[in-house]
């Protein structure tokens, strides 16, 4: 298990989940199944990304897929505590807007 | 000069100032990466602007500067004093090139060009060797490597490259991360906007986490050619779909691109507009011009063109609602930012001045109307004019606010002055700036540059001692020059201080005697002697340096300040330092006044110096002070001072005024109330008149004089000092021995 | 302003007109003549902007007596010089016919309007160059440099004033600067 189920936040179906490893192509296949099943098990999911030290296109795709699935299933999916690597990548791909999660962006501007 | 060029020049000067400020900060160590980024962006923006107005010589030179800065930013080149010096020289050179542009010359003249060549050679030591800088070093335009083939339609307004890439599904499995290619792309230039497309990604069930489904639409700004951009994608070239459109491509090229890409045409169109590759108008015009409905998947929906794009997309099931929402939200924020930018309006200063003048006239005629209304006794008219007066007052305040600027920008200019001057003199001097956010009228700021420059150079040149002397005196090696600004009871105070040697009182005294400014036996305080340096023709510089020994003395500084209705004083402690204190009115145009009457005359006391008004309890002592709640308040009888005839009324009033912590009373006949007033200068004839700051026109059409409270108090003080000092003092050399006549006695 | 009237009855329309005819072919100059302490003076019409009734004057303290004060001329504040006081230290007495002649003085690149107080404006005259004599070295009881020449008009002499000298801003402001040191005003010091 590379991610741990955090205690449920009380309301039925609401859950928080922390990804505790990289989100790269090497673990992408397993990660996809885990995350999709976590989404399937709850109506409201918060994904803690603070421990993601590396993310590549495979990881980005996964995040996009999850958002899309959540919307298709009428569920709420939030990404939170983005690690610097995740922030940088989401910012680079200009996905902060489409994802719509509050994200702490460091004071430097991309230039 | 066209407006675009004028704007470019204006903005470039601001950017150069920012660059210079950043570089100076960089030199002072511990400035972060942000700073380097800021310097780089300034250079980058100037270069881009020069490109837009097609000023090739600025573009070419700035490009080289930018390249070096880019490498500094990337950490390839360490920051060194040498680098900063060369960069500062480059700033100056860009400034000179801007001057060439302003002068309307097509190319820099010989000496400017030579300077540029020298700097290029210096920059060469940090230049990258890929030949990119060399390309531009000859000042020619960087050729676009690909000719753009016209295929109908106009040229788009976008000035960036457009890169469209769809990575092959196997790229991840081949051990490559598409993002690393894109990151590498940034070494060639700047990604202006990027849009990630996941449209090709199948539903969760079919989606293979190890396949790549993403595509990117990128606007990219670079000097590199198409071949170089293509090279970035060399490793995955074979199995990715790459489209590169050079800047200023035809609309039709974009339309063709839209058709070639796998995604829905409407969505792509929207993305291209969103990332700024096309404007909506260009897209619409292009689609209409093509007149091939089949080429764009419009599904024959006639009303579709008018419905919001988002709705159509959702209707077509092309994108999901939440994606559209997020996109719309993002578009909205972008739009907000654009609006915020466009909220700044550049206006010519003289238009603003004209407005302020008109507001001044409005204030005067408003006051006059109000007066007539009061005389008429018509209550409705009075009510309406007082509403009008309030509005006029608001307009006046708003208009004046338009001209208020922070003094920080003026202060920051001196960073460079201090740096250069201290290097030249071999001194280590730091400039400490405080109160830069203090606001004052632009017209005042503009006239403040010269006197401040003189004071700062003076401090650097004569104030701060050589290192050896400082060591001897046990002072820190690094000298400090301070610039400070703050508001104080309706005035702005600007201080120029240093921790140098201070003024040599005895030397000043000797010089003043030699110059015949004071009598040999004059009894004067140290402060009085210090302030002699403002007398005409006075200079204590023992040797003339090329810094401030320019034949312009402190008298010129004082005259400049007085022309702004301000005062200047110096406080000095020998061996510890000196501080020049400039006190200025906030604005030159309009003041709130308090109207008083003496005999048949009416005077205006600037309201901000009025503390309170009391009735004069006539004393029998004959001394000119009264007891103000236990405080001794000296006062001056305007009737005597101004030699106004007529009978003294039974009841007189005292207006208590305050200036620089000093309180005094002005004895007047009548108190006539507050009055907002436009200052009319009295003209050259009265230039030496002290105690009267200007004039104004009352509602009745009569001219009233505005009292200059600080000068008035100084007049009274100096007269009083003479009264109490028995020895002849400070007379002009040929001067009348008139101290016996200086009697400040009430006539009652 | 209702208190300011244009006095034109004694002055031809050329004064108020926009293009005064100044010099005819014979080299004559046009002068505005006026009286001051029952003496006749003239100034070149080129410098004259307008003539207004005396009134609405605001005194400026701490200035020499010949600077009578300032007036509001349609929104501009214009200083008024008492010529009699400037020439002979005798303050002009105000009468019904006292006027202020607004003169334009050009110094370098700066133009100032300055008013001069006169007892009475008489007329605009054309004085041929041949009828102008050099100023006397003494006897006029006026500083020689104030006089441009002596014009012969109907058998009498009219003093043609050098307005640039009489109204020299530099000189007047300097006088004003030293004025407070004057014994007549003992309680002040410049």
pLDDT of residue B287: 62
**Which B residues 154-173 touch A at CB under 8 Å?**
167, 171-173
> pLDDT confidence of B263, banded at 50, 70, 90?
confident
In terms of domains, do B560 and B451 share one?
yes
User: Distance from first CA to last CA of chain B, Å, rounded?
Assistant: 70
SS3 letters across B404-441? EEECHHHHHHHHHHHHHHHHHHCCCEEEEEECCCCEEE
Highest mean pLDDT among B110-114, B524-528, B562-566, B711-715: B110-114
Alpha-carbon gap, residue C14 to C44, rounded angstroms: 13
H/E run at residue B118: helix B110-124
Residues B424 and B569 in one domain: yes
Tokens of B30: 């511990």
Contact B217, A81 (CB under 8 A): no
Together in a domain, B429 and B489 = yes
Question: What is the domain range of residue B364?
Answer: 349-402
Does B137 reach chain A within 8 Å, measured CB to CB? no
Question: What's the structural domain count of chain C?
Answer: 1
B572 vs B502: CA distance, rounded Å: 5
Q: Which stretch, B244-253, B498-507, C53-62, has highest mean pLDDT? A: C53-62
What's chain B's average pLDDT? 75
pLDDT at B724: 61
- C-alpha to C-alpha distances, B437 to B451, B565, C29, nearest whole angstrom: 20, 22, 61
- B483 and B418 in contact (C-beta within 8 Å)? no
**Does some domain include residue B413?**
yes
Q: Which residues have C-beta within 8 Å of that of residue B518, sequence separation ≥ 6?
A: B509, B512, B524, B532, B729, B730
Q: Which of B369, B402, B435 is a domain's end point?
A: B402
The Cα-based distances of C131 to C127, C157, C164 in angstroms read 7, 10, 22
Element spanning B240, H or E: none
Residue contact B179–A94, C-beta within 8 A: no
CA–centroid distance for A43 within its chain: 15
The answer to whether position C103 is within a domain reads: yes
CATH of the domain at B11: 1.20.120.160
Enumerate helices (H) and strands (E) in chain A, giving the number of each: 4, 4
Which residues in chain B have their CB less than 8 angstroms from residue A36's CB? Answer: 204
For an interface test with A, the pick among B183, B196, B277, B335 (most A C-beta atoms closer than 10 Å) comes out as B196
pLDDT band at A82; cut points 50, 70, 90? confident
Q: Is a pLDDT exceeding 90 seen at residue C102?
A: yes
The domain that contains C171 carries what CATH number? 2.40.50.180
pLDDT digit string (tens) for B98-114? Answer: 988 888 888 888 888 88
Indicate if B514 and B445 belong to the same structural domain: yes
What is the predicted pLDDT for the residue at C139? Answer: 74
In this structure, are residues B498 and B580 in contact, taking their beta carbons and an 8 Å threshold?
A: no
Residue that finishes a domain, picked among B527, B558, B585: B585
Overall average pLDDT of the B436-445 stretch:
83
Pair B462, B546 in one domain: yes
Q: Tell me the nearest-neighbour CA distance from B350 into chain C, angstroms.
A: 20
Residue B539: predicted pLDDT: 60
| CATH number for B646 | 2.40.50.180
Asked, for residue B747, whether it belongs to a domain, the answer is: no
Cα B416 to Cα B411: distance, rounded to the nearest angstrom: 10
pLDDT tens digits, residue range B382-432? 889 889 888 887 887 788 778 788 888 888 888 888 888 888 888 889 899
pLDDT tier for residue B666 given thresholds of 50, 70 and 90: very high
Quick one: pLDDT at residue B732? 39
Same domain assignment for residues B604 and B708: yes
Which tens digits make up the pLDDT trace of B671-685? 988 877 777 778 778
Average pLDDT over residues B26-37: 69
Can you give the pLDDT at residue B654? 92
Query: Chain C: which residues have CB within 8 Å of chain B?
Result: 1, 3, 56, 58-63, 67, 69-72, 75-77, 79, 107, 110, 112, 114, 169, 172-174, 176-177, 181, 183, 185-190
Chain C: closest CA distance from residue B703 (Å): 6
| Distance, CA of B243 to CA of B205 (rounded, Å) | 31
CATH 3.30.750.24 fits A3-99, yes or no: yes
| Domain stop point among B103, B137, B171 | B137
Q: C54-59: which pairs have CB atoms within 8 A and are 24 or more residues apart? A: C54/C94, C54/C98, C54/C99, C54/C100, C54/C117, C55/C3, C55/C4, C56/B701, C56/B702, C56/B703, C56/C1, C56/C3, C56/C4, C58/B601, C58/B695, C58/B702, C58/B703, C58/B704, C58/B705, C59/B601, C59/B644
Q: B320 or A21: whose pLDDT is higher? A: A21
Residue B277 lies in a domain: yes
Range of C21's domain? 13-181
Question: Does the residue C100 lie in any domain?
Answer: yes
Q: Is residue B746 in some structural domain? A: no
Residue C189 maps to a domain: no
Work out the percent of chain C whose per-residue pLDDT is above 70: 78
Query: What CATH number does residue B214 fall under?
Result: 3.30.70.260
Distance to chain C for B150, nearest Cα, Å? 59
What pLDDT score does C80 carry?
A: 94
B305 Cβ contact partners less than 8 Å away, ≥ 6 residues apart = none
Distance separating alpha carbons of residues B175 and B177, to the nearest angstrom: 7
State yes or no: pLDDT of C128 exceeds 80: yes
Helix (H) or strand (E) holding C158: strand C156-161
Report the share of chain B in percent with pLDDT over 90: 6
Q: Which chains touch C (3 or more CB pairs under 8 A)?
A: B
Split into its structural domains, chain B has a count of 6
Instruction: Report the gap between the CA of C183 and the closest CA in chain B (Å).
Output: 8
Do the domain assignments include residue C3? Answer: no
Q: Which helix (H) or strand (E) holds B550?
A: none
pLDDT higher than threshold 90 for residue B344: no
C17 or B686, which is more confident? B686
C170 vs B238, residue with greater confidence: C170
pLDDT tens by residue, B283-327? 666 666 554 443 334 444 444 344 444 444 444 444 445 445 555
More confident residue, B254 or B605: B605
**Cα–Cα dist B532/B530, whole Å:** 5
Give the pLDDT score at B543: 40
- Neighbouring CB atoms inside 10 A of B391's CB total 12
| Predicted pLDDT at B669 | 92
In the predicted model, is pLDDT for residue A67 greater than 60?
yes
pLDDT at B90 over 60: yes
- Centre a 10 Å sphere on the Cβ of residue C150 and count the other Cβ atoms it contains: 19
Query: According to the model, what pLDDT value does residue B741 have?
Result: 31
Q: List the beta bridge partners of residue B439.
A: B406
């Amino acid at each position: 298990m590379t991610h741990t189920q955090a205690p449920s936040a009380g309301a039925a179906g609401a859950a928080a989940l922390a990804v505790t490893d990289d989100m790269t192509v090497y673990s992408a296949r397993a990660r996809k199944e885990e995350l999709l099943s976590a989404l399937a098990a709850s109506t409201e999911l918060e994904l803690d990304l603070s421990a993601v030290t590396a993310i590549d296109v495979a990881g980005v795709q996964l995040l996009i897929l999850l958002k899309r699935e959540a919307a298709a299933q009428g569920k709420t999916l939030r990404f939170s505590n983005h690690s610097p690597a995740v922030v940088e990548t989401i910012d680079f791909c200009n996905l902060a807007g489409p994802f719509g999660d509050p994200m702490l962006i460091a004071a430097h501007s991309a230039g | 000069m066209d407006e675009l060029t004028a704007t470019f020049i204006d903005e470039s000067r601001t950017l150069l100032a920012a660059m210079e400020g950043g570089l100076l900060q960089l030199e002072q160590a511990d400035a972060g990466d942000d700073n380097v980024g800021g310097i780089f962006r300034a250079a980058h923006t100037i270069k881009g602007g020069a490109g837009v107005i097609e000023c090739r010589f600025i573009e070419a030179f700035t490009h080289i500067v930018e390249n070096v800065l880019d490498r500094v930013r990337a950490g390839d080149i360490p920051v060194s004093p040498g680098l900063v010096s060369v960069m500062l020289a480059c700033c100056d050179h860009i400034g000179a090139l801007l001057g060439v542009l302003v002068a309307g010359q097509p190319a820099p003249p010989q000496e400017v060009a030579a300077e540029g060549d020298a700097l290029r050679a210096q920059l060469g030591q940090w230049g990258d060797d890929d030949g990119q800088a060399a390309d531009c070093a000859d000042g020619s335009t960087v050729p676009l490597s690909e000719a753009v083939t016209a295929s109908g339609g106009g040229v788009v307004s976008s000035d960036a490259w457009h890169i469209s890439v769809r990575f092959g599904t196997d790229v991840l499995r081949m051990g490559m991360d598409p993002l690393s290619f894109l990151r590498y792309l940034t070494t060639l230039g700047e990604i202006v906007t990027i849009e990630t497309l996941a449209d090709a990604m199948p539903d969760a069930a079919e989606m293979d986490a190890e396949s790549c489904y993403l595509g990117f639409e990128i606007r990219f700004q670079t000097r590199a050619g198409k071949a170089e951009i293509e090279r970035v994608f060399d490793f995955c070239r074979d199995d990715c779909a790459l489209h590169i459109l050079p800047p200023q491509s035809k609309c039709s090229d974009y339309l063709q691109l839209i058709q070639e890409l796998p995604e829905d045409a409407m969505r792509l169109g929207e993305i291209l507009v969103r990332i700024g590759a096309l404007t909506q108008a260009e897209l619409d015009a292009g689609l209409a011009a093509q007149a091939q409905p089949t080429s764009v998947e419009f599904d024959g929906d006639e009303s579709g063109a008018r419905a919001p794009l988002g709705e159509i997309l959702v209707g077509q099931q092309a994108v999901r609602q939440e994606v559209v929402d997020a996109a719309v939200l993002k578009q909205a924020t972008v739009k907000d930012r654009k609006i915020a930018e466009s909220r700044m309006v550049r206006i010519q200063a003289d238009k603003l001045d004209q407005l302020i003048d008109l507001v001044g006239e409005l204030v005067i005629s408003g006051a006059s109307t109000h007066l007539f209304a009061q005389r008429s006794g018509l209550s409705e008219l009075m009510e309406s004019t007082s509403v009008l007066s309030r509005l006029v007052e608001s307009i006046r305040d708003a208009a004046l606010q338009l001209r208020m600027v922070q003094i920080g920008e003026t202060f920051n200019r001196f960073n460079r002055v201090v740096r250069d001057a201290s290097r030249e003199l071999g001194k280590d001097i730091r400039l400490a700036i405080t109160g830069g956010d203090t606001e004052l009228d632009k017209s005042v700021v503009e006239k403040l540059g010269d006197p401040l420059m003189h004071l700062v150079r003076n401090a650097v040149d004569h104030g701060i001692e050589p290192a050896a002397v400082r060591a001897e005196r046990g002072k820190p090696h690094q000298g400090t020059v301070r610039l400070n600004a703050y508001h104080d009871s309706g005035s702005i105070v600007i201080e120029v201080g240093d921790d140098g040697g201070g003024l040599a009182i005895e030397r000043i005294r000797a010089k003043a005697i030699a110059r015949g400014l004071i009598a040999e036996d004059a009894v004067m305080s140290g402060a009085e002697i210090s302030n002699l340096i403002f007398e005409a023709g006075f200079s204590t510089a023992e040797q003339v340096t090329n810094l401030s020994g320019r034949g312009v003395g402190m008298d010129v500084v004082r005259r400049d300040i007085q022309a702004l209705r301000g005062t200047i004083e110096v406080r000095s402690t020998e061996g510890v330092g000196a501080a020049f204190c400039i006190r200025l009115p906030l604005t030159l145009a309009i003041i709130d006044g308090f109207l008083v009457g003496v005999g048949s005359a009416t005077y205006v006391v600037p309201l901000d110096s009025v503390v309170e008004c009391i009735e004069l309890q006539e004393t029998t002592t004959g001394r000119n002070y009264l007891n103000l709640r236990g405080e001794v308040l000296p006062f001056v009888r305007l009737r005597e001072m101004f030699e106004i005839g007529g009978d003294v009324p039974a009841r007189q009033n005292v207006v208590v005024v305050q200036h620089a912590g000093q309180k005094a009373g002005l004895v007047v006949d009548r108190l006539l109330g507050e009055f907002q007033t436009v200052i009319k200068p009295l003209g050259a004839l009265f230039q030496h008149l002290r105690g009267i700051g200007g004039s104004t026109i009352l509602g009745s059409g009569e001219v009233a004089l505005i009292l200059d409270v600080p000068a008035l108090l100084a007049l009274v003080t100096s007269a009083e000092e003479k009264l109490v000092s028995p020895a002849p003092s400070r007379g002009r050399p040929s001067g009348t021995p008139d101290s016996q006549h200086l009697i400040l006695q009430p006539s009652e | 302003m209702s208190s300011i009237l244009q006095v034109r009855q004694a002055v031809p329309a050329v004064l108020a007109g926009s293009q005064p005819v100044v010099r005819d072919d014979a080299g004559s100059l046009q002068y505005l003549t006026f009286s001051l302490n029952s003496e006749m003076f003239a100034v070149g019409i080129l410098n004259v902007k307008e003539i207004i009734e005396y009134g609405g004057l605001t005194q400026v303290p701490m200035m020499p007596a010949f600077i009578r004060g300032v007036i509001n001329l349609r929104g501009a504040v214009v200083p008024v010089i008492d010529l009699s006081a400037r020439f002979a230290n005798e303050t002009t007495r105000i009468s019904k016919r006292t006027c202020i002649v607004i003169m334009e003085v050009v110094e370098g690149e700066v133009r100032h309007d300055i008013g001069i107080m006169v007892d009475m404006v008489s007329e605009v005259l054309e004085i041929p160059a041949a009828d102008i004599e050099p100023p006397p070295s003494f006897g006029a009881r006026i500083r020689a440099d104030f006089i441009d020449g002596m014009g012969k008009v109907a058998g009498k002499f009219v003093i043609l004033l050098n307005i640039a000298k009489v109204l020299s801003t530099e000189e007047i402001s300097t006088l004003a600067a030293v004025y407070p040191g004057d014994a007549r005003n003992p309680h002040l010091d410049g």
